Structure 1
Amino acid sequence: MNRADLADLSAFLVVAEERSFTRAAARLGLSQSALSHAMRRLEEHLGIRLLTRTTRSVSPTEAGEKLLATLAPAVDSIAEGITQIGRLRDKPSGTIRVTVSDHAARSLLWPALERLLPDYPDIHVEISIDNGFIDIVEGRFDAGIRLGEAVARDMIAVRIGPPMRMACVGAPAYFERHPVPQTPQDLAHHTCINLRMASSGALYAWEFEKDGRIMNVRVEGQLTFSGSSMAVQAAEAGFGLAMTIEDVVRESITQGRLVRVLDDWCPPFPGYHLYYPSRRQSSPAFALLVDALRWRG
């Protein structure tokens, strides 16, 4: 059966319901002559008369009634299926896969989900914790969360957090044995805790900036970690200086477990962004997540 047959069958249903070529043509947006031609074509194709025409009305023949009884439930079922698809489109539901660093997951993503998910039980979120920069297209993720300066230019980036700063810290016990560094160059005389970058495998070069002067410093020490939490724990234990995001060590600084140094060499930089491919069709569920995460500071 081709598309013309389906169109003619649909037109037949309308004519049978309206019992009038005039009303059926108006409902279908066709001329009466085009509609009459379609009905003749259908009857010729089936080899049997389907409609009885008079000057005042149109009514199905016995064969037409049988065809109507067959078609009507099928059309109703199709219409209901289309309605259900429309509900899925409009109802926030489905699974959203997000790749995110541990710090961003705890500080931004989880608080947003904690507010959002109770009101939308049909939304499911799969969270992949990874501190490296992930190709979300290759990894089949819907979105990623990373620092703004690390987001690729071909992605849509939505700011979800305030500007951030790095913090160079050490334990009070460490500074009882070593002088407080005054410039980044002084770090050459200190024991430092290295961080290996998950994406590149290289050691993180500590980044500093002051009065337009940018310095990237390679540090040395006994310990290297792939995540900041253990580096902070080692710093609190006095094993050396650590460099991490300010938020991670704010409580430790406040409570005196760590002392911040080189503060004037750590200016703000773009904070976390949610990023996703520009060609992505935004579903209601994904749009809700974006809105829940969007930074409004």
Structure 2
Amino acid sequence: MANKIDLNSLSSFIVVARERSFTRAAAQLGVTQSALSHSMRALEERLGVRLLARTTRGASPTEAGERLLMSLVPHYEGIEAELAAVSALRDKPSGTIRITTHDHAASTILWPKLSKLLPEYPDIRLEINIGYGLIDIVAERFDAGVRIGDQIAKDMIAVRISPDFRMAVAASPAYFANRAKPQTPQDLTSHNCGNLRMATHGGLYAWEFEQDGRAQHVQVSGQIIFNTSTQLLNAALEGYALTYAPEDVIQPHVEAGRLVRVLEDWSPTFPGYHLYYPSRRQSLPAFALVVEALKLRT
């Protein structure tokens, strides 16, 4: 009967459903794969419904399993948050703070600010995950995410951590040695441009431009595609292609003569980075310290 179900089996089901693998779930839970499989079969027998479709490659939730998973996760997330809050009432803030962000924000904002915080609070652990996809931070078990202001869901708390910034297009002097510089965004279609693969939809990022209130998106092409911007910058510095990056990344190389900027009068402005998170996270002392350290000072 459902009222005799062991809550541990429900928490184990969540891990299996998320990992889609008995092997990975067992390793995460610290139990044997056979014991975990037995526990899941017992849970299915008590509920009288199949929760997991088992294959040689792993396990995935059935329709009933997906429904149970969606129902259970918010409750367990709430329990974990409250337990973490109670644990954090010790003398020193502690715990792991997981943040998903872009590599640009990580290198120019998060690490410069949080590296100063960590020595003061040795019990706080920080995990920064680099990604360009728009993910569900609650489902993926992140405490917070960092994205441009207009990309944040309305049900999240958002804290500005950077001013607005402009984008820039540039290439090395060697690249332009035998090529004419583009005068308009459409001229880029005849150039070798470094492309960025977006994780959310798997497509290539269309470069964005604006002049006199008129916006243009150009789908560029070239020989190289990466899924983070650091490699694109390196490719530009080595003369392989044009790159599209935040102005603060490009400008030092322009001033040093390593890059030549083009289409500057078409450079658009973006609304700055924001740290976003669900409301329950703000009660954790360690998380509150991270938010305060990152908050933009005006």
Q: TM-score, normalised by structure 1?
A: 0.67
Of residues 134-143 and 148-157 in structure 1, the stretch that sits farther from structure 2 once superposed is 148-157
**Matched ranges for 1:169-184 at <5 A:** 169-184=170-185
Find the counterpart in structure 2 of residue 5 from structure 1: none
Any idea what SS the aligned residue of 1:157 has?
strand
C-alpha separation between the residues in 2 aligned to 1:151 and 1:86? 30
C-alpha separation between the residues in 2 aligned to 1:278 and 1:87? 17
Any idea what SS the aligned residue of 1:172 has?
coil
C-alpha separation between the residues in 1 aligned to 2:237 and 2:292? 37
Amino acid at match of 2:179: H
**Matched ranges for 1:1-297 at <5 A:** 88=89, 91-297=92-298
C-alpha separation between the residues in 1 aligned to 2:108 and 2:257? 22
Of residues 199-208 and 111-120 in structure 1, the stretch that sits farther from structure 2 once superposed is 111-120
Given that 2:88 and 2:95 are in contact with CA atoms closer than 8 Å, whether structure 1 keeps it comes out as: no
- Structure 1 residues 166 and 136: CA distance shift in structure 2, 3 A: same
C-alpha separation between the residues in 2 aligned to 1:87 and 1:249? 41
Amino acid at match of 1:96: I
C-alpha separation between the residues in 1 aligned to 2:225 and 2:115? 34
1:185-204 per-position Cα deviation (integer Å, ceiling 9, x unaligned) = 11122221211112221001
Structure 2 residue ranges without an equivalent (≥5): 1-85
Instruction: Give the deviation of 1:88 after TM superposition.
Output: 1.4
Amino acid at match of 1:211: D
- Structure 1 residues 87 and 194: CA distance shift in structure 2, 3 A: closer
Amino acid at match of 1:185: Q
Structure 1 residue ranges without an equivalent (≥5): 1-84
C-alpha separation between the residues in 2 aligned to 1:195 and 1:118? 35
Give aligned-pair identity as a percent: 60
Given that 1:89 and 1:284 are in contact with CA atoms closer than 8 Å, whether structure 2 keeps it comes out as: no
Instruction: Give the deviation of 1:248 after TM superposition.
Output: 2.3
Q: TM-score, normalised by structure 2?
A: 0.67
Given that 2:166 and 2:269 are in contact with CA atoms closer than 8 Å, whether structure 1 keeps it comes out as: yes
Amino acid at match of 2:144: A
1:4-51 per-position Cα deviation (integer Å, ceiling 9, x unaligned) = xxxxxxxxxxxxxxxxxxxxxxxxxxxxxxxxxxxxxxxxxxxxxxxx
Given that 1:99 and 1:144 are in contact with CA atoms closer than 8 Å, whether structure 2 keeps it comes out as: yes
- Structure 1 residues 253 and 162: CA distance shift in structure 2, 3 A: same
Any idea what SS the aligned residue of 1:186 has?
helix
- Structure 1 residues 123 and 186: CA distance shift in structure 2, 3 A: same
Instruction: Give the deviation of 1:212 after TM superposition.
Output: 0.8
Any idea what SS the aligned residue of 1:126 has?
strand
C-alpha separation between the residues in 2 aligned to 1:222 and 1:211? 32
Any idea what SS the aligned residue of 1:200 has?
coil
Equivalences, count? 213
Instruction: Give the deviation of 1:121 after TM superposition.
Output: 2.0
Find the counterpart in structure 1 of residue 50 from structure 2: none
The structure with more radius of gyration: 1
Given that 1:168 and 1:241 are in contact with CA atoms closer than 8 Å, whether structure 2 keeps it comes out as: yes
Instruction: Give the deviation of 1:247 after TM superposition.
Output: 2.2
- Structure 1 residues 206 and 92: CA distance shift in structure 2, 3 A: same
C-alpha separation between the residues in 1 aligned to 2:292 and 2:191? 45
